[in-house]
Amino acid sequence: MDTHDAQGRLEQRLDELLARAGHIGADLLGLHSADSDEAAVEAEADEALLGQSALLELEIAQVRGALSRLKSGDYGVCISCGADITPARLEAMPEAAQCLACAEVGGKP
Ligand SMILES: [Zn+2]
């Protein structure tokens, strides 16, 4: 498998995720006003942003994990059962840490 290609895609993905996380962080900081009506709306917006931010953090962790597995030579091997992850799966999801079977069972890494 061409791990060089995977590394390029993962690094690009990491950049995008970090940029989005940066925007969300800026939104969270910039939202607050003293007006109480607006504050309620902003609190809801904050919650949505925090949810997005949590998802982003998770994805960032997955991509970073994949990059470190590339470095250590464990990339493309399921972290749960040790089987090879299919190239098609890695193509669709370069940050995949588990083979399809383990991911479907929902086994935690
Ligand atoms: Zn597996």
Expressed in angstroms and rounded, the spacing between residue 60 Cα and the centre of ligand 1 is 21
pLDDT digit string (tens) for 50-61?
Answer: 999 999 999 999
Cβ neighbours for 97, distance < 8 A, ≥ 6 positions apart: 62, 65, 66, 69, 78, 79, 109
With a cut of 60, say whether residue 99 has pLDDT above it. yes
Expressed in angstroms and rounded, the spacing between residue 74 Cα and the centre of ligand 1 is 13
Element (H, E) at 95: none
Q: Where are the alpha helices (DSSP H) in 32-84?
A: 36-72
Residue range 54-83: mean pLDDT, rounded: 96
Assigned token pair, 82: 């040790």
With a cut of 90, say whether residue 107 has pLDDT above it. no
Element (H, E) at 23: helix 3-30
Expressed in angstroms and rounded, the spacing between residue 81 Cα and the centre of ligand 1 is 4
Expressed in angstroms and rounded, the spacing between residue 55 Cα and the centre of ligand 1 is 23
Expressed in angstroms and rounded, the spacing between residue 69 Cα and the centre of ligand 1 is 15
Domains of the chain: 3-105 (1.20.120.910)
Q: Which of 21-30, 47-56, 79-88, 93-102 has the lowest mean pLDDT?
A: 21-30
Expressed in angstroms and rounded, the spacing between residue 58 Cα and the centre of ligand 1 is 20
Expressed in angstroms and rounded, the spacing between residue 57 Cα and the centre of ligand 1 is 23
pLDDT digit string (tens) for 25-40?
Answer: 888 887 666 677 777 8
Assigned token pair, 96: 């995949």
Model-level pTM?
Answer: 0.81
Expressed in angstroms and rounded, the spacing between residue 34 Cα and the centre of ligand 1 is 52
Residue carrying the six token digits 């995720």: 17
